[in-house]
Amino acid sequence: MTLHRRSLLTAAGLGLTASPVLAQAPWSEAVRAAAVLPQRAPADPTETVRLWPDGAPGGENVTVTAEVNERSEDPAWHDRFAVYTTDPIMTVFRPDRPNGAALLLIPGGGYRWAVVDKEGYDCARVFAAAGVTCFVLRYRLPGDNWAAGPDAPLQDAQRAMRLIRAHAADYGVDPDRIGALGASAGGHLCGTLSARHGDVVYEPVDAADAVSGRPDLSILMYPVVTLTDPHTHAGSRSHLLGESPTPDEIRDWSLETMPRRDTPPTFIVHAMDDGAVPPENAMMLTTALRAANVPVETHLFEEGGHGFGIRQIVGRPAAVWPELALAWGARRGWLG
C-alpha cells in the first residue's frame, strides 16, 4: 500500500484522513475519534496486574521508593512518568468491543523512567478503540540496583507477556494474537523482548512461566536500536549499561545484532527529523531484520520529532501511524 501526501490531508479528529484503503477499515472512525484530545483528561482504568506476586526478583539491595510524577499543567491531558518502580504492574484497558487481539505497551523514558501516558495510556485508548485489549507495562529500571542489572526490565517484559498469554481466557483474548508495542527506550526493550523472548533471565515463579513469552508481532515507535556511536541515544545507553560499558556489552545490547529467525514480524515508525534518536536506528534494525528473514514494514515520516505518541502529531502526516499499524496487523491476522 502506498500513501501519498495528498491522501493524508485534513479531516476528522486526527486532523488527517487516511487513504481509501484505511478509511474502509471497520475500526478507522473509532480510532480517529479516540485520538481527539478531550476537554479534560479521561479517568484511568482501575484494573491492574502485579507481575510478581511475591515481589520482583533480585531486590535485596534495592532501597529506592517508587514515585509517579506529573509534568502536565493542562487539565486536558496527563504527562506522568514513573521512577524507582519496585512493584511492576500492567494497567488493563478492556475495549467495548473486543476482537480477541491483545497488545502489551512498553513506554519509553530513556531507561531513566517510564512514561505513563504519552506512549502508554494515550496509545492504549486508541488501540482499544479498534477492539484490542491493551496492557500498559510499568517496568523496573536498570539503575536502581536490581541484581539482574540491565536484564531487570527484560524480566518484567517477559513475565508480562507470559501472564497475558497464560490468562488469555480471562481477558477474552486469543493467546496466538498477542502483540507488543514499544516506544523510544521502550522500543529497545520491546525489540529485546522480541529477540530474546526465550532467554532464561529469571527463575520460574508459577505456571504462567511455562508458556511462551514471544510476542506474535511487534510495533516499534522511534526505537532506540543501536548502542554504538554515532547514532546511539547516549542517555539510554548509560542508564542501561552504565557510564563505561565494554565493547562487548555495547554490541550485545544493540538490537541490530539480535534478530533471530523466530523474532516476530515487526512494524517500525520513525520521523526523519528526530533529534533525540536518529532515524538511522530504524534503518539499521530494518536491515538486520531483513537479513534474518524476519518480515518488517517501516514507515519514515519527514517530520514528527521524537516522542510524538498520539497528541504531539495531531494534524501532521505521521498522525496516521496507528491506522497503518492496525492495517498491517490486520493483514497478518492479528485483528482476526
pLDDT digits (tens, 9 = 90+) for 127-170: 999 999 999 999 999 999 999 999 999 999 999 999 999 999 99
pTM recorded for the entire structure = 0.92
Tally of domains within the chain: 1
Identify the domain containing residue 171 by its residue range: 5-331
Please state, as a whole number, how many other Cβ atoms lie within 10 Å of the Cβ of residue 292. Answer: 15
Answer whether residue 120 is part of any domain.
yes
Q: Please, which residues have CB within 8 angstroms of residue 284's CB and are 6 or more apart in sequence?
A: 225, 226, 231, 255, 256
Measured between alpha carbons, how far is 312 from 74 in angstroms, rounded to an integer? 14
Domain CATH for 100: 3.40.50.1820
Q: Can you tell me the mean pLDDT for 110-122?
A: 96
Quick one: pLDDT band at residue 302, thresholds 50, 70, 90? very high
Task: Average the pLDDT over 191-204 and give the result.
Answer: 97
CA nearest neighbour of 220 among 284, 163, 176: 284
Residue whose C-alpha is closest to residue 52's, from 85, 83, 82? 85
In whole numbers, what is the pLDDT of the chain averaged over residues? Answer: 91
> Residue 24: its pLDDT value, please?
65
Q: Which three cell numbers stand for residue 144?
A: 536502581
Report the alpha-carbon distance of residue 221 to residue 306 in Å, rounded: 9
Closest CA to 134 of 210, 52, 48: 48
Residue 124 CB neighbour total at 10 angstroms = 27
Alpha helix (H) residue ranges in the chain: 12-15, 20-23, 28-34, 122-129, 151-166, 168-171, 185-196, 234-241, 247-252, 280-291, 321-331
> Domain for residue 140, yes or no?
yes
Question: Does a structural domain hold residue 336?
Answer: no
